[in-house]
Amino acid sequence: MDAALARAWVQAIAAAIDEHTDQLTQLDSAIGDADHGANMRRGFSACLDALADTPLETPGDVLVRTGATLISSVGGAAGPLYGSAFRAIGRALAGPDAGAEQVLSALTEGLTAVKRLGAAVPGDKTIVDAYTPAVAAFEQELWEGGGLAAAAAHAAEAAEAGARATTTMQARKGRASYLGPRSVGHQDPGATSTALIFRALAEVTVR
Ligand code: ADP
Ligand code: MG
Ligand code: MG
């Protein structure tokens, strides 16, 4: 992954969020406060502006900038969580062109950052429920000899399955946890946006 690919990833995320803003808002209106679509759209549109401003030479520069922009532009839980994730991913991608193994460690650092900040574990009905299986599938594919594009494709599938699996979970973190058992039966908005982020990575890596 070079700086151009990192940029393309952020642009693909922004496009996917744009396309799915209403879906994310509807999911968040069922178990939250109906702002996840708007939060994500504001954040990634600010990222596009921030990236347009500056020549960024490494994938790490692009993704650290993305993380910092998400933290400063998105209120709510998801902004700091995704912001910390992208900052951690970026910090692990120093150098002009990261290989698939390095991308795996970077994605893992991002997950660690989300868990450190939000203290969620798998099963809590959060971002972690899509992100954890995505990283596992990415790693599995590399282990089986696949490259970056194949790993990202498997990660996207696993993230989508992980997001769907949040439907039957009871939320134990974030706003949805206030609903207790009434949070069951709805797919988690944050896990759903995480699946969009991994799908975007899969899209740009096959180009
Ligand atoms: P808010 O809940 O503040 O309105 P958003 O609606 O933008 O923020 O984001 C909600 C999403 O954030 C949830 O669907 C969930 O996936 C995620 N989330 C909330 N708290 C946590 C946490 N502690 N760890 C991981 N993800 C979390
Ligand atoms: Mg919300
Ligand atoms: Mg909110």
Q: Per-residue pLDDT for 207 more than 70? A: no
Quote the ligand 3 centre to 199 CA distance (angstroms). Answer: 24
Both tokens assigned to 167: 């439907």
Instruction: Please tell me whether residue 2 adopts helix, strand or coil conformation.
Output: strand
Ion ligand 2 neighbours (CB, 5 A) are 28, 32-33, 35-36
pTM over 0.90: yes
Interatomic CA distance for residues 129 and 174, integer angstroms: 13
pLDDT score for 83: 98
Instruction: Kindly report, residue by residue over 89-139, the tens digit of the pLDDT.
Output: 999 999 999 999 999 999 999 999 999 999 999 999 999 999 999 999 999
Task: Give the chain's length.
Answer: 207
Q: Mutate which of 17, 26, 27, 28 to test ligand 1's pocket (most atoms within 8 Å of Cβ)?
A: 28
Residue 148: beta bridge partners? none
| pLDDT band of 79, cuts 50, 70, 90 | very high
| pLDDT band of 155, cuts 50, 70, 90 | very high
Residue (of 170, 176, 206) closest to 190 by Cα position: 176
Q: Count of domains in the chain?
A: 1
pLDDT score for 156: 98
Range of the domain at 9: 3-205
Instruction: Kindly report, residue by residue over 37-60, the tens digit of the pLDDT.
Output: 999 999 999 999 999 977 889 999
Quote the ligand 2 centre to 207 CA distance (angstroms). Answer: 33
Quote the ligand 1 centre to 203 CA distance (angstroms). Answer: 25
What is the number of the ligand closest to the CA of 120? 1
CATH code, domain carrying 18: 1.25.40.340
Residue 97 DSSP class: B
| Average pLDDT value for the chain | 97
Residues 129 and 115: beta-carbon distance below 8 Å: no
